[in-house]
Amino acid sequence: MSTHHEPERGGARLSIHADAHAASRAIAESFARQAAAAVEARGRFSVALTGGSGPGEAYRLLGEEPFRSRIPWNAVHLFWGDERCVPPGHERSNFRMANAAFVARVPISAENVHRMRGELPPAEGAARYADALAAFFGEGMPRFDLVHLGVGPDAHVASLFPFSEPLRARDRAVTTNLHLPEGEPRITLTLPVLNAAARVEMIVVGRSKADVVWTVLRGPLDPYRFPAQLVRPVDGELAWMLDRDAAARL
């Protein structure tokens, strides 16, 4: 593993691993370590999961030994950063991916799994999720212990797409957006929630992501064109969890 100690743009720290397998193991290790620390300090651990292909192997590892036994699942609360507006069993559902990878395989209470209701009309699903966050975190912007984010080829994070109006949301935790290429509505957390987290991990693996990693971290500063540049935790850590292929241009 190679960790760059000089922070990148936005205070980001880079954690670069030999390959996708090593990066996935480091992501699972980070999850386990933070879960234990948060539960010891505050009695619970809150994490917002991501979709996409990047976290798949890391999530599978969470459901296997030794991670399955190391993590205090009874005090872990799982949320999602965004969701496609599809039923939970749909092949495009972020919940379905995480559920198959590890959620259904670990001893976590159903009450601790807070999925976005993608099967509802988008505005209703977003409102219901905002209520769920308020019930768990209380008033004000939710502060997650950990947020996982992928980065799309257009540098979007969660379902915050380039030049889309939700990038400007400041007074709400959850909103809707439309993924124009597919005409697909989404539910998504907003930037103020992402930037209120204690730790954000950008999970990016594969040579196909090398250009967007360079663009976000070293390219022109144009945050509404490249939304990942807007992820800058106010009072928290930002870590890019990369394999060497994704970091090839850095």
pLDDT tens track for 108-166: 999 999 999 999 999 999 999 999 999 999 999 999 999 999 999 999 999 999 999 99
Which of 236, 212, 54 has its CA nearest to residue 148? 54
CA–CA dist 62, 208 (Å, integer):
25
Residue 182 pLDDT: 78
Q: Which two tokens stand for residue 152?
A: 């799309």
Q: Is the pLDDT of residue 5 over 60?
A: no
Residue 4 has a pLDDT of 61
Mean pLDDT of 25-32: 98
Distance CA 160, CA 82 (A): 9
Residue ranges per domain, the chain?
2-189+196-243
End-to-end CA distance of the chain: 15
193, pLDDT greater than 80? yes
| pLDDT confidence tier of residue 81, bands split at 50, 70 and 90 | very high
pLDDT at 1 > cutoff 70: no
pLDDT band at 3 (very low <50, low <70, confident <90, very high): low
pLDDT bin (cut points 50, 70, 90) of residue 7 is confident
pTM for this model (two decimals)? 0.97
> What's phi and psi for 132, nearest 5 deg?
-65, -40
The model's confidence at residue 102, banded by pLDDT at 50, 70 and 90, is very high
Question: What pLDDT sits at residue 181?
Answer: 77
State the amino acid at position 15 in one-letter form: S
Question: Can you tell me the distance from the alpha carbon of 78 to that of 111, in angstroms, rounded to the nearest whole number?
Answer: 10
Tell me the two tokens of residue 13.
């720290």
Best CATH choice for the domain 2-189+196-243 from the list 3.30.1360.170, 3.20.20.70, 3.40.50.1360, 3.20.20.80:
3.40.50.1360
